[in-house]
Amino acid sequence: MKTSILAALLLTAAVLPAVAQSGPTPQEQIACRGDASKFCAEHIGKPPEMNACLRENKTKLSDGCRKVVESHGG
């Protein structure tokens, strides 16, 4: 369980700095956590690549994550 919590935190930390210039809110991080893991896991820890991946997959993202990506220029 600790491993999965740590993995989720690391994923969250890596996901949205790429999407947001000013940094993601906790709600934005939660909104995109699953989508980032599903569509862009190979880009974790690489903010520019993660941002591009989320934008490229925007039509596949959940409504919440799509709104976050769009609100940050994606």
Q: What are the pLDDT tens digits along the chain (74 aa)? A: 555 444 444 555 555 444 445 667 889 889 999 999 999 999 988 888 888 999 999 999 999 999 999 998 88
Residue-level length of the chain = 74
The model's pTM is: 0.67
